């Protein structure tokens, strides 16, 4: 996938920072980057590395994968998985431990369906074959 223009990831980061009600300086401090560097990223003058995106994602409490997709570092076809992961990580009503448990279960279901060749999107965007049992991973309720 071709990389997007740096201003697109910068605009997205600015939006996420504002949604988190953080100043530029607060986010820079939390992510361990300089204030001027973060400003340049937000204005589209610099393209951040995957490592910087990961630091920013952690500081914003969002999925690093979401930022990777926005920056053009991950394939578009992975977006559904990224959105599910981002939704789980963004949910303030569950604990970090619960989030990690959900992500592990989700990953195991996807891996199982991929192995069985059932990870095919149906007409309504649902995954075909995902309604049935899942073998040994079906013990979680």
pLDDT at 16: 92
Return per-residue pLDDT of the chain as tens, 141 residues.
444 566 789 999 999 999 899 999 999 999 999 999 999 999 999 999 888 999 999 999 988 888 888 888 776 555 667 678 777 877 788 888 898 899 889 888 888 888 777 654 443 444 444 344 334 444 444
* Nearest-5° Cα angle at 20, 19 to 22: 110
Prediction pTM value: 0.54
pLDDT at 26: 97
Other Cβ atoms less than 10 A from the Cβ of 55: the count is 18
> What stretch of H or E contains 121?
strand 120-121
Q: How distant is the alpha carbon of residue 31 from its chain centre?
A: 16
Following DSSP, what letter does each residue of 20-88 receive, concatenated?
Answer: TT--HHHHHHHHT--HHHHHHHHTTSS---HHHHHHHHHHHTS-HHHHHHHTT-S-GGGHHHHHHHHHH
Tell me 2's DSSP state.
P
pLDDT at 24: 96
pLDDT at 22: 94
């Amino acid at each position: 996938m071709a990389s997007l223009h740096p201003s697109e990831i910068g605009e997205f980061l600015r939006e996420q920072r504002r949604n988190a009600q953080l100043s530029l300086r607060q986010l820079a401090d939390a992510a361990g980057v300089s204030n001027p560097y973060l400003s340049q990223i937000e204005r589209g003058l610099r393209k951040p590395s995957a490592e910087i995106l990961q630091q920013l994602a952690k500081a914003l409490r969002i999925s690093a994968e979401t930022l990777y997709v926005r920056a053009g570092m991950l394939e578009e076809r992975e977006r559904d998985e990224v959105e599910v992961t981002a939704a789980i990580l963004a949910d303030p009503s569950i604990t970090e431990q619960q989030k990690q448990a959900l992500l592990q279960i989700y990953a195991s279901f996807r891996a199982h369906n991929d192995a069985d060749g059932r990870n095919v999107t149906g007409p309504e965007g649902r995954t075909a074959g995902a309604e049935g049992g899942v073998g040994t991973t079906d013990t979680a309720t």
